[in-house]
Amino acid sequence: MQLTDAVVLVTGATRGIGSATATELARRGARVVAVGRDAEAARAVAAATGGSWVAADLRDPATAEQVVRHAVDTHGRLDAVVANAGVGHAGDIAEMSVGRVAELVEINLLAPLLLARASLPVLRAQHGGALLFVTSIAGALGVPGESVYSATKAGVEAFADVLREEVRGDGITVTTVLPGVVDTGFFATRGRAYDRKFPRPMPPERAAAAIADALAAGTGQVVMPRWLTVPARLRAAAPRLYRTLERAFG
């Protein structure tokens, strides 16, 4: 799709990958709708990018239709959605509260599904558009100690794969971007700091550039860095062998 003058809704736009993506899309000429829980931060992103903003808690099922309505009412159209908002958790599921499990499912899985549901009638009426879901390499590999997080991201991958077939012929592209380790505040809020020497965290601007490129090209799936495609494919083709190697080498 042509990013110049495209109206792109970005969730989780107030920090990390979302903020960098909003900046990158605006640099390429898009009109950004910044969505985040922090009203002041969302307003600041909108001011910096020349777009609009919505303060919204994606755990509320009504939010999806509200933010889509804002985009259409404010800009007259909606061309693309970047479902980026997410929350992580590291630790044994037996030690997670019910509320924490529900929070991951609501933000990471339910919210993107409802956002797609709310966006599709608009995109279909316009005879085209794009839905892009920022998932995680954890969804492809299944990371021990992050079972709930991995499951939510894998769920979005499965949803996107089927949705891509459902909208075939509608002029709508469906993309997933699976980042590896990104240098954001994500690890400070998941309950465990990132303490591995390899792979080194990539800057969020790199992820943002990949997201913008994928939107423009209509790519189906992007794994970044690209070398992570190798373990992802191995895990899909030979899960037992992959787990054996994972235990041996990490």
**Which structure tokens are listed for 93?**
């599921």
**Which structure tokens are listed for 156?**
């979005």
For the chain, the first-to-last Cα distance in angstroms comes to 39
48 and 21 Cβ atoms separated by less than 8 Å: no
Dihedral sign (CA 86, 233, 209, 25):
negative
3 state SS of 14: coil
From the list 149, 159, 186, 242, the catalytic residue is 149
Distance CA 16, CA 12 (A): 8
Dihedral sign (CA 165, 167, 171, 173):
negative
Is 242 noted as a catalytic residue in this protein? no
Residue from 187, 177, 186 nearest 140 by CA: 177
Cα maximum dimension of the chain: 55
The string over 186-219, giving b where at least 16 C-beta atoms fall within 10 Å of a residue's C-beta and e elsewhere, is bbeebeeeeeeeeeebbebbbbbbbbbebbbeee
Q: Which residues are catalytic?
A: 149
